[in-house]
Amino acid sequence: MFFKKNPSAQISKSGKGYLLLASVLCLVTGFLVYQALDMAIPKISVLVTTRELKPGDVITKENLSVVKVPKASVPSDRVTGLDEVLNKHSKTYVAAGDPIRKVHVAEIDGGGNVAARLNLVGKNTLAVALPPESVLGLVLDIGDRLDIIGVVEQPQDKITKGKRIVLGAPVVYVPQKIIEKEQKKDESVIVALTPEQAEKVALAMVKGKLVAAINPIGGDLPATAGITLDRVLE
């Protein structure tokens, strides 16, 4: 017995073939459109991180990669050259894959003289040499930040008070002997201070004593009210 072919079954198979072909054509068209748009969008090469950077991390070649990204999505303060970041410290947290920006990098390096480094910190800054004993025992490098504690006796109130009078002062000069951990008593570290900070530090040096403490790069420690002798053992 012979069976007649069902015309509807043939149409169904034919329809599926057309749908498959149409899907393939859509995918190809979409890919071509994407490629065309991708080529039309201006791109530039930028430095990005290959891993998360934390404040204080040294930026090395192993931490960096160069990728091309749309120009419109690149921050205006992007770092454009390796020399701007290589072997410097990260000032903030930077997520893996993010473009390296100038705000991410500790702004001071060992190049140039003290005046040149002051310009990198800011225009309204002064270079102030700290008493050698105030940094005794600290292992410092250019670009570190110091909190400066002033300890001053107030004769009229018969009170000796200690307070952090400067927060996060950038170090712009370090004697080589300090870097080599062989500090001498007559060698001074130089920090960048605003005029108001410089006045406070000068008065504390003349009327009292200074002690410097390293403030982690990018660490915004809160200001304190200071302390007096009667509260030291509380």
Q: Are residues 143 and 225 in the same domain?
A: yes
* pLDDT band with cut points at 50, 70 and 90 for residue 131: very high
Amino acid at 181: K
φ/ψ of 7, rounded to 5, equals: -60, -35
Q: Is the pLDDT assigned to residue 193 strictly greater than 80?
A: yes
pLDDT for position 146: 92
Residue 23 lies in a domain: yes
Q: Are residues 158 and 222 in the same domain?
A: yes
Share of the chain above pLDDT 90, in %: 23
* pLDDT band with cut points at 50, 70 and 90 for residue 31: low
Q: Is the pLDDT assigned to residue 19 strictly greater than 90?
A: no
Share of the chain above pLDDT 70, in %: 77
Q: Are residues 108 and 202 in the same domain?
A: no
Domain range for 154: 114-177+186-231
pLDDT for position 150: 94
Mean of pLDDT over the chain: 79
pLDDT for position 228: 83
User: What is the spatial distance between Cα 74 and Cα 231, in angstroms, rounded to a whole number?
Assistant: 52
Q: What is the pLDDT of residues 56-73, one digit of tens each?
A: 778 888 989 888 877 777
- What is each CA distance from 166 to 90, 115, 149, 150, 170, in whole angstroms? 22, 20, 7, 9, 10
* pLDDT band with cut points at 50, 70 and 90 for residue 6: low
Between 99 and 89, residue with greater pLDDT: 99
* Both structure tokens of 78: 């992007």
Residue 8 lies in a domain: no
Exposure string over 114-146, b if 16+ CB within 10 A, otherwise e: eeebbebbeeebebbebbbebbeebebebbbbb
Helix, coil or strand: residue 93: coil
Residue 26 lies in a domain: yes
Q: Are residues 162 and 62 in the same domain?
A: no
The model carries a pTM of 0.60
User: What is the spatial distance between Cα 91 and Cα 193, in angstroms, rounded to a whole number?
Assistant: 19
Residue 171 lies in a domain: yes
Residue 3 lies in a domain: no
pLDDT for position 205: 93
* Both structure tokens of 135: 């940094």
CATH number of the domain enclosing 102: 3.90.1210.10
User: What is the spatial distance between Cα 132 and Cα 183, in angstroms, rounded to a whole number?
Assistant: 9
Q: Are residues 108 and 121 in the same domain?
A: no
pLDDT for position 15: 60
Q: Any residues with CB less than 8 A from the CB of 144 and at least 6 apart, and which? A: 170, 171, 214, 217
* pLDDT band with cut points at 50, 70 and 90 for residue 93: confident
Q: Is the pLDDT assigned to residue 178 strictly greater than 80?
A: no
| Interval 85-114 mean pLDDT | 80
φ/ψ of 125, rounded to 5, equals: -130, 155
Q: Are residues 118 and 227 in the same domain?
A: yes
Q: Are residues 151 and 226 in the same domain?
A: yes
Q: What is the pLDDT of residues 38-47, one digit of tens each?
A: 555 677 788 8
Q: Any residues with CB less than 8 A from the CB of 161 and at least 6 apart, and which? A: 151, 152, 153, 154, 226, 227, 228
Count: domains in the chain: 2
Residue 194 lies in a domain: yes
Q: Are residues 24 and 107 in the same domain?
A: yes
User: What is the spatial distance between Cα 68 and Cα 230, in angstroms, rounded to a whole number?
Assistant: 61
Q: Is the pLDDT assigned to residue 215 strictly greater than 80?
A: yes
Q: Are residues 104 and 172 in the same domain?
A: no
